[in-house]
Amino acid sequence: MNTYKLFKAMAATRKRKLTNNTYLVVREDGGFGIKLHDTEVVIHYPNKVIFNSGGWKTVTTKARINEFSCASLTQCKGAWTIDGHPFADGITLYESGYVTGKGAPVKKTATMRKKVNAFAKKYAELLCSGQMDKPSGGDCWCCLMEFGGSDHIKSHIQEKYYVPSLINRVNKDLISPFAGDFIARTMQGMETSNWQRGIAYEQIKRGIQQHCLHELGLPA
């Protein structure tokens, strides 16, 4: 099926909504975008298709790419591949079979993922055992100021630098008020219960892991 023609036909109508949070965008450059939230996750052209996660390699992004293109996006060992090619934002599949903008080899991604998991585990251990300093102005500037980007995160993981203020960057949905209370108490050197520590540990570990993966552009 030629999906370009399909969306071209749709563009001639007034229909734009495709499914939840997903719309057809008629681009000025002749392309047809499939927009999920703020990102055109697929852009169809007559001779090529471009893919983008917008930094959100989520189950939903994956589902939209599979539903609104002929390509097959799969997740294997924590890495995305599209029609068998390692995924990267901007990867372009040409009708001729030519591919540009491939991502890092899957094996490399799997290694990075393992390092992230080890970093997150050690981070949670240090924080929960009260061995971590309070977030301060001496922390990595990027972590402190909430600048995004993958370079500083990559170097923290390589150098095993467990930046105290990194915990403040974690998505608040992943840390319950209960765990948040534990973190505050621990950092102030106050008493905590084993029970509270056990619950907080799991949430900190997962929160740091998810934050690092997102900043590094890896699937959740």
Task: Catalog residues that contact Zn ion under the rule CB under 5 A.
Answer: 140, 142-143, 152
Query: Which residues, including other chains, have CB under 8 Å from residue 70's CB and lie 6 or more apart?
Result: 1, 3, 49
Question: Please, which contacts does 162-165 make with residues 24 or more away whose CB atoms are closer than 8 Å?
Answer: 162/119, 162/122, 162/123, 162/126, 162/127, 162/132, 163/139, 164/132, 164/133, 164/134, 164/135, 164/136, 164/139, 165/135, 165/136, 165/139, 165/140
The sheet with strand 73-76 has its strands ordered as 73-76, 79-82, 85-86
Query: Among 90, 22, 107, which residue's Cα sits nearest to residue 53?
Result: 90
Q: Which residue lies nearer to Zn ion by CB, 67 or 151?
A: 151
Report how far residue 61's alpha carbon sits from residue 75's, in angstroms, rounded to the nearest whole number.
12
- As measured in angstroms, the least distance from the Cβ of 142 to Zn ion is 4
- As measured in angstroms, the least distance from the Cβ of 169 to Zn ion is 9
Query: What's the token pair of residue 167?
Result: 């915990």
- As measured in angstroms, the least distance from the Cβ of 192 to Zn ion is 26
- As measured in angstroms, the least distance from the Cβ of 112 to Zn ion is 16
- As measured in angstroms, the least distance from the Cβ of 181 to Zn ion is 25
Q: Which residue lies nearer to Zn ion by CB, 41 or 120?
A: 120
Report how far residue 138's alpha carbon sits from residue 160's, in angstroms, rounded to the nearest whole number.
16
Q: Which residue lies nearer to Zn ion by CB, 113 or 152?
A: 152
Report how far residue 191's alpha carbon sits from residue 87's, in angstroms, rounded to the nearest whole number.
46
Residue whose token pair is 């052209």: 45
Q: Which residue lies nearer to Zn ion by CB, 111 or 155?
A: 155
Backbone angles phi, psi at 26, to 5 degrees: -90, 110
DSSP summary character for residue 154? H
Q: Which residue lies nearer to Zn ion by CB, 44 or 152?
A: 152
- As measured in angstroms, the least distance from the Cβ of 143 to Zn ion is 3
Q: Which residue lies nearer to Zn ion by CB, 153 or 200?
A: 153
